[in-house]
Every structure is written in structure tokens, then in C-alpha cells.
Structure 1
Amino acid sequence: MNTRSTNETEAATLATLPVAGPDLPSTTERSGETDAMILRYAIVAGALELLPQTIATLAIVPMQTKMVYRIGSQRGVSLDRKAVVEFMGAVGIGLASQVFEGFARRLAGGLGKKVAGKMGGKIGHAAGGVAMSFGSTYALGMLAKVYYDGGRSLGMETLKAKYPPMLAEGKASAGKYGAQIAERSKQLQGAGLASILKGAA
């Protein structure tokens, strides 16, 4: 089995594993813990964009899936893979969209190199990818927090409507954490997909 096939198998397997939740803390404490966890996941997602694109494409969706599991678990919600996938699909997050985004960024990066030179293309590609992956992970986490705190009463259309402004907020915030994203990327250099996903946050 080649490296890509192995990574795809690991990603598919790890994305289905529920994460055991801790004893439930108070609402205020839980909210603070969740916010910190979402930020850690967003930083890792941004850092992955500074690694080879194949790793980012394969790792980010399973990592986001794990994050949603953990947010639900913190609130005493027992989730299966189908429930998480449906939630993520409602806001447009999924493997197909992630692969498309990765391809589009690579294409845009290639065009940028022709126009602005090799270094300009790399910088433009990395900055756009980091902001999108950080922002989408941040938005998904915050939306999951609102959704599960509200007893899963929000409808799918409401979730879809709430996602774009949260995504914009996340993308705008990515620059504040540039140093942490770069440092996390260095720490992830050479790590296998399974190690990245298990130690994401």
C-alpha cells in the first residue's frame, strides 16, 4: 500500500472514532475550555497548510470531525459518525469540499507563480490556505458550540445562515495567531497523519 493510500485509510478510520468526554464542568468553565480547544484546533489547521498540500487535504476534515465529537461530548451529547457528518454537511464542510478547496488553492498558487514569480506564488498560496483552514475550523467549532449548547434545536437552514459570518470572523482572526501557526507547523514537520490527528489539540 502506498503512502497516500495509507494516509487515506488512517484519515477515514480516525474520523469515525468517538472521543470519550470528561465529567461535565460548569457552563462557564466548559465554555472557556471549549473556546480554547477550538482555537488550538484552528491553529493546527492553519499550520497544516504550511505542510505538503496532501497532508492538509487529508488531515483537516478528520481533525474537524474529532473536534465536533469533543464539543458534543463536553456537553454530554453522545454522537455517532453520521450525526457529525450531517452537522458538518449542513454548513458545507466535507471531504469533497475540502479536496476542491485544496485543488483550487494549488491552481491559484500556480497561476500566481507565473504572474508574480515563484516566491510570490508560494506566499499567496500559503496565506490564503492558512486563513481558510483556520477560519473554517474556528467557524465550525463555534457553530457546534452554539448548536449543542442550544440542545440541537437550530434547524439546518439556520446553521447554514450562521456559518458565513463566523467563517469571515475566523479568517480575519488568523493573522493574530501567525507566530503560533508557524511554530505549530515546525512541530508537525515529519509527523505521520495518525500522529497529527491524535495530537491535534
Structure 2
Amino acid sequence: MTSQETQAVVTLSLMAAFVDGDKHDREREEIKRIAEGLSQNDALHLPTLYQDVLMKRVSLADVTGQLLSADSKRLAYEMAVCVCDADGAQSKAEQLFLADLASSLGLEARALAEFTQQADELASAPIATTAATAAATAGTAPDDAELDNAILNAAILNGALELLPETLSTMAIIPLQMKLVYRVGKAHGFELDRGHIKDFIATVGVGLTSQYLEQAGRKLLGGLLGKVGGGFLGGLLGGTANQAVSSGMSFATTYALGHVAKRYYAGGRTLSTQMLKDAYADVVQEAQGLQTRYLPEMRDKARTLDAASVLSMVRKA
């Protein structure tokens, strides 16, 4: 894609993030931080784009007019759908925005139906896990070693998903993190619903929409998002030069969420908000030190994944 098209895709993603006007101030600040953090690409002026979108100085027609290729139009729509679905079911405002976006891009609804359905399934996938339910039914005490292994495996899986070029692979990271928190809570005797898990994740400082934007934004600016073909993927997974595309953020975030959840529920949910934030920051730093060690396993895992297997993992209760 051209620099102009990349800028348009990012702008539309930001527009999707704010379309329902219901973002918490904390999430807005996270999105602003991401725009500033990804601004190493001077041609895009991301902090300016953020302000333009927030102040509604850009129109849908003007932005979509900058997308010339069929691939860039499709990618823009897919990213917008994932942004709207990142924190759960779409609001009415988000649905209307996506319909207007598809029309402005000249995309037919029938051609988008399969992707939209898959994204919606990821957003509404059950959070209960078979392993968690089986352990609770057996009435056994939490097995620390087993939970530690589950957390590490989840972090490796999400790190592998970060290496894949499909938009849905990036979106799948969030529901898999929610499943992990559910499993940890269930192991300690807590029956968690989706709202509680979202609140827990937000409390430690991880925004759902902002997390997707950061993950997808790094892929997009690194030239990975939307790429297809075994040659490209093989080159990415086999070498180190393109590893800059992926910061290992998903590995560290998932690892930290799992271990902080373990402390929180093992302690009877007595940790304060600040203690949760501090614990999360400490474990993220620890996980970042482990990322290089487990990178070969992430690459090996990525080679075994495709869109169908990713969807199956998230759907599986």
C-alpha cells in the first residue's frame, strides 16, 4: 500500500474506535498513547490524525477516497470491523458506521458477510473453558504448576497470533485472554462473567479497543497486516529481520494478565486497583525478558495456525 492508503486505513480505524462516543477516558488516553508511540513513521503524523478524528475534522468520504486499490479497501473495512468488535458486540452507532463505510468504499455486503460473521463470532465467543469446568466439577484445589503452564501456553499462542498477517488472527488475541482469566478465576472458585473479566482487564490497565489498535497498528506499519502467501510468512517466521514488526506485546500482555489474575483470585480478590496496576507492570517487565526465550516456540506455533484453526480455538468452550 502507498503511504496515503496506510494513513487512510489508520484514520478509519481511529474513526471506528470513537464512533459510539462511549469510550472511557482511560481508553481514550491509551489510544492517544498508541498514536504517539507508533508515530515513528513521520509520513503518517499519527498524533495529528488522532486529534483530527477526535475533533471530527475528517469526513468518511474524504478518507475513503484516498483508498484506491481493492486490497486496501478490504483491509480498511476489516480493521474497522475488528476495532468495533474488540470490546464486544457492536453498538447501533458502530453498525451504522460500518454500513456507511462499506457503501463509501463501494464494497458489497454479500462479499463482506463471511468476514463480518467470523468477527462477530470472535467478539461473542463463550468465555467458559472445558478445562476450567472439569477442574471445578472435580472439586480439586488449584494446581499452581498446571495454571502456570496454562498461562505460558496461552502467552505463546497469542505471541504466535501476533506473527500472523490476518486481521482476524489479531482480533482473536483478546477473547483468548478473556478465556485465560476465566480459567484462572474458575480454578480459585470464582464464577466470572464477561463483564467482570472486561473490568478486571481494564483495571490492570489494558484497554480492549486500544490493545487491538496497537497490535494491528504495528503490523500495518511494519507491512505485515493483510499480507498473504507462504513465502512472506515463511520469511517472517524463519528470520529475525522482520521481528521488529512484532514487539512480542501479546506474549507479555497475556503472560501478565494470567499471573496477575492468579494472584488476585488466589487472594480472594482483595488487591486494590493500584496494587493490580503495579503487579501487572512488574509482570509485563518480567515477561518481556522471557519473550526472546520463547520466540522459537511462538514461530513454531504460528506455522501450525490458519484462519480456520484460530476460529475453532476461540469458539471452543
What is the TM-score with the length of structure 2 in the denominator? 0.54
**Which residue does the alignment assign to 2:30?**
none
**Which residue does the alignment assign to 2:266?**
149
How much does 1:172 deviate? 1.4
- Contact (CA 8 Å) 2:127, 2:178: kept in 1 or not? no
How much does 1:75 deviate? 1.1
- Contact (CA 8 Å) 1:71, 1:145: kept in 2 or not? yes
> Letter of the aligned partner of 2:119 in structure 1?
E
**Which residue does the alignment assign to 1:122?**
242
Cα distance in structure 2, aligned partners of 1:194 and 1:4: 11
How much does 1:121 deviate? 7.1
* Matching of residue 92 in structure 1 with residue 212 in structure 2: no
Higher helix share: 1
Structure 2: where are the runs of 5+ without partners?
A: 1-111, 224-235
- Contact (CA 8 Å) 1:53, 1:102: kept in 2 or not? no
**Which residue does the alignment assign to 1:18?**
128
Greater length-normalized contact order (CA 8 Å, ≥ 6 residues apart): 1
How much does 1:123 deviate? 3.0
- Contact (CA 8 Å) 2:160, 2:302: kept in 1 or not? yes
Q: Map 1:21-36 onto structure 2 (within 5 A).
A: 21-22=134-135, 23-27=138-142, 30-36=143-149
Q: Map 1:1-201 onto structure 2 (within 5 A).
A: 2-14=113-125, 16-19=126-129, 20-22=133-135, 23-27=138-142, 30-106=143-219, 108-110=221-223, 122-126=242-246, 128=247, 131-198=248-315
Change (3 A) 1:176 1:51: same
> Letter of the aligned partner of 2:242 in structure 1?
K
State the SS of the aligned residue for 1:2. Answer: helix
Rg larger for? 2
Deviations 1:64-114 (A, max 9, x none): 00000001111111111111111011012232122221243135425xxxx
**Which residue does the alignment assign to 1:115?**
none
> Letter of the aligned partner of 2:117 in structure 1?
T
Deviating above 6 A after TM superposition, structure 1's stretches of 4 or more consecutive aligned residues are none
Cα distance in structure 1, aligned partners of 2:204 and 2:114: 31
State the SS of the aligned residue for 1:4. Answer: helix
How much does 1:51 deviate? 1.1
Q: Percent identity?
A: 36
Cα distance in structure 1, aligned partners of 2:315 and 2:219: 27
Structure 1: where are the runs of 5+ without partners?
A: 111-118
What is the TM-score with the length of structure 1 in the denominator? 0.83
Cα distance in structure 2, aligned partners of 1:98 and 1:3: 24
Change (3 A) 1:68 1:44: same
